[in-house]
Structure 1
């Protein structure tokens, strides 16, 4: 007899937010045969593409060139037309910030359009508007072109991101007092930029703007910059900052920031004041979870307003998942994307494993960069992880000597008595590329001997990874 049963309808997936967590989830859902709708308020790619990761790293790419120019004198490069003589690289090369920022915004928009086209090519519908939950299975969208549209969802993913934290006594005006999303509207380089906040965002922009030619003051409430990172790595960055002429004010907070004429005045909690032409507020971010019906739909939020999720991105509401900065798991585009993929694999019945933060590689785009993966020195020193550690300064690496690199190191951790690679830290130019070998070792539970016995190019910076592994060689126990 012929089969008269009706085919099962495709599951309806609604993704609220088009950033990395949202669009990667949508691509997976479309691949698995779902009927996918992506609701995005500002543009596909979200803040990561339009105002955060892509723009900041594009700006930093220009800063990298300026750093190379500044350091090239030591390699024998001369600038005969420079005002300060033929060795004065800094005064002979300058940056046109208007052109830099025009390129930044152009590339960000192009990346957003690329992702938009990919979503539509793979069968997802993209809806421009502000979405909110009406229970765990319905999304109401205030459309950008007017009117509203309601979507019913079998699976709902919340990936609404976060926005810069604003302090009442230092409210950004978009001209002199700025968040990191507003920097790309500047036409001229700040003469003196005061950066409030010495976490990843503050350190990256302080490093970049100093390289671009601005005078920079970094206000840090902690004893050192980058307080949440590897202490040795943070010490290198702070030392480089000071040597390059960047002023670091430790153990003090900005009490208020005021516009004064064509500049700003930052008042510190110890009574001192710092004057500048501009001030960048880099004091953290706030999840975009308020007023979109999450708690009313049964989605639990933390005290900070982040969506609480488990290892497969489930929230407390049945059928509702969440990914990205709104979850507070790790503010990385790569983590957001993986959370989104995991959510769809789980929701649509594909093979899936919970998110493992121990395998996440992260990078800070200062000069030099800091790249990390796996366990940390704090894990080892606290006794939580029994491990051996080795740190090799890059100054001893032949390729580093040839390139004039004097700052940085490679640090590896391995399981005590066994030699399994557990993690590492690389501080170097393009550390984001060098960490991949360590990430592979952590991911596949390689031993230090396996890493050490792999060929590396001579001379190369990656040779220091193999050398560090050799020095952690575990001798076999005597028979």
Structure 2
């Protein structure tokens, strides 16, 4: 999964100005992830001359080492997870009626990971074709600011191979995995989230350090694939910052599936042994496993980007400071994606990139509204949220009424053997406008859309309740909780 080759602009052997090669690029984008390539396509559609610089492959981490690979792996795990409960649906192994089918299946992780890499490469190639068809010039190299309106391109050795001026610059350089100095990732036994897809065999016992979104997703997936999993969480509950009821459902699901959760524990170090790893906690406890995944969040790739030379303001965390239309502190320079620290979501990065180009090229633009951002956690069951949270209501940060409806009475959930899940709706008192929602269920990432539309377009609980749904369906519960909410508010 290296960098995408065959860049659409040829570079001279000696450093020259790119404007010597043709028309001066008006928009220069550093980084080819969702924020970068969506911005490039948007700018090209507006008739701008666009140059995109990317050193690790088009699609960035989202396509090559993060979102696409992890969700492909999780899709495989979902199949096994569904089959594992097939006995409840009356499905038996043809050769042995005493065992459900899932226990007769094995995972060829090398084949799974090969498919993961193939899909990531194919998606990257699709992006390259889209950019080429739009007339975007693509350079394989590392971009760096030389000033407010000048960019240089460096090769792998750090040598300048080209430079150019630009009227507009977008920085979309992403983030890299955070690691502990006492737990150096070697890509074999101690891994970060970019290194999992080279494993030839399934880990016998995977120790996941970190109980945020990445840690929870991989703990869920690898347990479904058949690994023993221990999740080390520094908090009282997994998924800190997520809806507490949703986190509780997931913890219960972890317990039922055999995931060991070490709450209120923090990893101090990890070391390789002859045939595995040992993770040492801060209290001295040692956990022995075959592999360790360090899921400790990300660090923005803003070092040596030339931000100081250009005068771009950076936060103490290293993230680029932006406003709601993606502007930095320097006129003509914008930023999008994980390097801004707004939301670590590919969808948000893409929206930031599009907003930046619309603003820079003189279009009317709506700023990014945090309350309208929906997100999902791809565990089993999935968790999806949008808008105001119940914690916001409890803390007084927002005024709202909360209604929860479990899925245990939903007929489609019963048919599918779904054991956990609920829908939660938050509406504004008086107007009954939908301001937030949580869905915990299989495919919650798809089910959140009606509520995201409701939040974005300020629909009321009555309008959601009055929308016809298919019977039987999980979406029936989305309308039912709105119906109950509306009736409660009327009383």
TM-score, normalised on structure 2?
0.93
3-state SS of the aligned residue for 2:448? Answer: helix
CA contact 1:10–1:33 (8 Å) conserved in 2: no
Q: Which residues of 2 match residues 201-220 of structure 1 at below 5 A? A: 201-220=214-233
* Correspondence for 2:434 among 421, 433, 443: 421
**What is the distance in 2 between the residues matched to 1:144 and 1:257?**
31
1:305 and 2:318 correspond? yes
| Pairs aligned (count) | 468
**What is the distance in 2 between the residues matched to 1:476 and 1:407?**
27
Q: Which residues of 2 match residues 238-257 of structure 1 at below 5 A? A: 238-257=251-270
**What is the distance in 1 between the residues matched to 2:397 and 2:265?**
32
**What is the distance in 2 between the residues matched to 1:100 and 1:119?**
29
CA contact 2:146–2:306 (8 Å) conserved in 1: yes
TM-score, normalised on structure 1?
0.96
**What is the distance in 2 between the residues matched to 1:401 and 1:60?**
23
**What is the distance in 2 between the residues matched to 1:427 and 1:355?**
25
CA shift for structure 1 position 144: 5.4
Q: Which residues of 2 match residues 355-370 of structure 1 at below 5 A? A: 355-370=368-383
**What is the distance in 1 between the residues matched to 2:393 and 2:289?**
42
1:360-380 superposed Cα distances (whole Å, 9 cap, x missing partner): 110000000000001000111
Q: Which residues of 2 match residues 410-449 of structure 1 at below 5 A? A: 410-449=423-462
1:465 and 2:483 correspond? no
85-94 or 399-408, which deviates more: 85-94
* Correspondence for 1:13 among 15, 23, 27: 27
Change (3 A) 1:282 1:130: same
Moved over 2 A (4+): 85-91, 143-147, 474-478
**What is the distance in 2 between the residues matched to 1:108 and 1:388?**
42
CA shift for structure 1 position 11: 6.8
Name 1:5's counterpart in structure 2: none
Name 2:17's counterpart in structure 1: none
CA contact 1:195–1:217 (8 Å) conserved in 2: yes
1:197-226 superposed Cα distances (whole Å, 9 cap, x missing partner): 000000000000000000000000000000
CA contact 1:157–1:322 (8 Å) conserved in 2: yes
CA shift for structure 1 position 417: 1.9
3-state SS of the aligned residue for 2:334? Answer: strand
Name 2:94's counterpart in structure 1: 80
CA shift for structure 1 position 418: 1.6
1:51 and 2:65 correspond? yes
1:372 and 2:371 correspond? no
1:333 and 2:346 correspond? yes
Q: Which residues of 2 match residues 259-338 of structure 1 at below 5 A? A: 259-338=272-351
Q: What are structure 1's unaligned runs of at least 5 residues? A: 1-8
CA shift for structure 1 position 142: 1.2
Change (3 A) 1:476 1:79: closer
Name 2:248's counterpart in structure 1: 235
CA contact 1:414–1:423 (8 Å) conserved in 2: yes
